[in-house]
Amino acid sequence: MKKTFVLLLTSCMILLSVGCTSATSSKTGSDLKGASASPTKEDAKSETSKSLVVYTAAATDVMNIVIPEFEAKTGVKVEVVTAGTGEILKRIEAEQANPLGDIEWGGTVSVIAPKQQLFESYKSANESNLIDSAKNTEGMITRNNIIPMVLLVNKKLVGDIKIEGYADLLNPKLKGKIAFPDPAKSSTGLTHIENILQTIGAGDENKGWDYIKSLTKNLDGKLLASSSAVPKGVADGEYVVGFTHEELASAAVRQGSPVEVVYMKEGAIVSPGTVQIIKGAKNMENAKKFVDFLTSKELQSLTAAKLNMRASRTDVPAPAGLKQVTEFKIVPEDLKSALANNQAWLDKFKDVYTSN
């Protein structure tokens, strides 16, 4: 898979160093802030049958397996652009008149659904094989895996600090050592807010916000720009603990980092990861192939075996090494409430965070 990382004035040097090693190009979230050159009509036509542009917040090791497999199976060349889901959605919205991406891969339903007008109506060829809770009821949001919200702890740094759930994160010893992704940019951060309000704030949302007020004080002014920055920060020892989801957390474990996954004792929302086709995608047929590929038994069996990802299909067993869903407390996601309150929660979190 070819990766081209555009890093300010060093881009030419990097292109020379990696240009001969792979076949898929990749850009990071910083690329989303700049303007992209618009392809000509001739370029678009010539690329339609062999190209695909994927905007994603997926973990690197997930992409390193999924993308080459897709390219090998289809002969389609994939360009990957990475950033937090919130940032990606902003770009897709800004590009509506001239979409430069074909696929949005990542983000929970509660974050994607309010923006569903940005996506094409399409149901995967594998829709009938998905579990009931992963059905594409909206018509444009395909669930390709199941993701519990979790905490990630650095085993070398935690010492004698007990971390079993949200309540433990108010320990003064953790001040400034907690990685929390900005919920305005990360669907994981927003889902953890929802998780807190449904557990600590169960029956009384004010209790949940009281907790969040205390938590933001313990963040000590630090918010991370993307979901993927959390496991990196914890694994690198910059933070003792971070708010993340199982897919990113288990990736850090697989990579040999000195970390462990904690399923919050208060309970964890288990959200489906999603993939959708950007409305007006220039490479529409290849985008459909990608959605079908992510929901195929072959691919989900592979990612379960190699990446410990929980499948959305009925015929793929749970991954080895991860807790079974019967071994931790699951909080049913109140999707209706989330869709109605996401923006209000973001606004309130901003007020709480900036007031500390």
Q: For each successive 10 residues of the chain (356 residues), what is the average pLDDT? A: 36 34 44 43 52 94 95 97 94 97 92 94 96 90 92 98 98 98 93 96 94 97 94 97 93 91 95 94 97 97 89 86 82 84 95 92
Task: State the number of CA atoms in the 13 A half-sphere of 115 facing the CB.
Answer: 28
* End-to-end Cα, the chain, rounded Å: 44
In CATH terms, the superfamily for domain 8-146+272-311 is Periplasmic binding protein-like II (3.40.190.10)
- Burial label for 238, CB within 10 Å (0-12, 13-18, 19+), is middle
H helical segments located in the chain: 11-18, 41-47, 60-74, 85-94, 109-112, 187-199, 205-219, 229-235, 246-254, 284-294, 297-307, 335-355
Which long-range CB contacts under 8 A does 112-118 form with residues at least 24 apart? 112/85, 112/141, 112/187, 112/274, 112/276, 113/138, 113/141, 113/335, 113/339, 114/339, 114/342, 114/343, 115/89, 116/140, 116/141, 116/276, 117/279, 118/89, 118/92, 118/93, 118/278, 118/279
Domain with CATH 3.40.190.10 in the chain: 8-146+272-311, 147-270+324-355
**Locate tokens 């070819």: which residue?**
2
**Calpha distance 36→52 (Å, rounded):** 16
The pLDDT value recorded for residue 219 is: 97
The pLDDT value recorded for residue 61 is: 87
**Calpha distance 82→104 (Å, rounded):** 10
Query: Can you give the C-alpha Rg of the chain in angstroms?
Result: 20
Q: Does domain 147-270+324-355 have CATH number 3.90.180.10?
A: no
CA angle 67, 134, 146 (to 5 degrees): 55
The pLDDT value recorded for residue 6 is: 33
Q: CB of 108 within 8 A of CB of 115?
A: no
- 79 torsion bin: left (phi>0), alpha (psi -120 to 50), beta (else): beta
Tokens matching residue 120: 């094409």
The pLDDT value recorded for residue 48 is: 52
The pLDDT value recorded for residue 203 is: 83
What are the backbone dihedrals phi and psi of residue 87, each rounded to the nearest 5 degrees, phi first? Answer: -65, -40
Residue 50: name the closest of 298, 299, 292, 289 by CA.
Answer: 289
The pLDDT value recorded for residue 44 is: 47
The pLDDT value recorded for residue 352 is: 95
